[in-house]
Amino acid sequence: MSDDTVETPAPESGTPSVPPPSAPGTATPAPDTDALVKAAAEKARREAQAAKDREVAALHRHYQNQLKATKQAARTRLQDLGDDQVDEWEQYAQRDEKAAAFDQLQSEAALAAESQRMANDVAETFGLQGNDPRLSGAQTWVEFRTKAKAAAAADAKAEREAEAERERAARTKSADARLASGELDTLSPGNATGAPSADALMKEYRAKLKTMQGDVDRIAKLQLEYRKKGLSI
């Protein structure tokens, strides 16, 4: 070996290896912008809802603490005035609170039932069920109707596509059956059996048809004969 040759020292143990550069021409996949925007919007919505829930919970605790303090102050005041029926007054107050809470629940239940009835009516106009999961999450009746309209359009499109697929499958099945039975052999020009082609059959059919002008029965029989031969008439 020549004295001018410089040997590359081997990497020391524990030295992290440097990965080879990316191959030229390899493109980095573009991020899905729509997915990122939707994810960010959903995260913001969840955070806003959580903040709102915390605020409502804090207001509820504040109200309960104020109510408790007010009741205790009223009880102390009555006792200071020598009222010996404080316990009875508290029982009356508790009954009133329970009655008010029951009335509130009844009102909420009635409102929920009415809302569900309206949802069923709107959904039914679009051929849907009121509990269709695609209609959930609507905050207003306008939004609910928009969701119902979109769902109905999606159902109609799916039905059209399914019907087209059924028709295509039926045509394919019919053609396969005719091909298997040999019925379509006469439509192939120059086939091995020597049967006339479709053009030849049509010329032959038209020539015979000219001799039958006005004779409905003979024309019907002629059409039946050539249909059996595979001619589409």
Residue-level pLDDT, tens digit, the chain, 233 residues? 444 554 555 555 555 555 555 545 555 666 788 788 878 888 888 888 888 888 888 887 887 788 778 777 777 876 777 766 767 777 767 776 777 777 777 778 887 788 888 888 889 989 998 889 998 888 888 999 999 999 999 999 999 999 999 998 888 888 778 777 766 555 444 444 456 678 888 888 888 888 887 778 888 888 888 888 888 87
Domains: count for the chain = 3
Domain annotation covers residue 92: no
Query: Within this chain, do residues 101 and 176 fall inside the same structural domain, yes or no?
Result: yes
Q: In 3-state terms, what secondary structure has residue 68?
A: helix
Residue 137 and residue 115 share a domain: yes
In angstroms, the CA 191 to CA 229 distance is 14
Alpha-carbon dihedral 47, 49, 50, 54, rounded to 10 degrees:
140
- Do 206 and 230 sit in the same domain of this protein? yes
Yes or no: say if 180 and 171 are a contact pair by the CB < 8 Å rule.
Answer: no
Torsion of CA 59, 64, 70, 74, to 10 degrees: 160
Residue 116 placed within a domain = yes
> Could you tell me if residue 102 is inside a domain?
yes
CA distances from 203 to 194, 197, 209, 213, 226 (A): 17, 10, 10, 16, 11
Q: Which of 139, 154, 181 is the last residue of a domain?
A: 181
Residues 114 and 170 in one domain: yes
In this structure, is residue 233 part of a structural domain? yes
C-alpha distances (whole Å) from 169 to each of 46, 61, 166 are 47, 66, 5
Single out the residue in 63, 85, 107 at which a domain terminates: 85
The one-letter amino acid at 170: A
CA 220, CA 182: separation in Å to the nearest integer?
A: 24
User: Which phi and psi angles does 221 have, rounded to 5°?
Assistant: -65, -40
What's residue 12's pLDDT? 53
Please, what sign has the CA dihedral across residues 62, 64, 70, 72? negative
Q: Is residue 168 part of a domain?
A: yes
State whether 137 and 204 are in the same domain: no
Name the token pair of 128: 């849907």
| Full residue range of the structural domain in which residue 41 is found | 37-85
On whether both 176 and 113 belong to a single domain, the answer is: yes
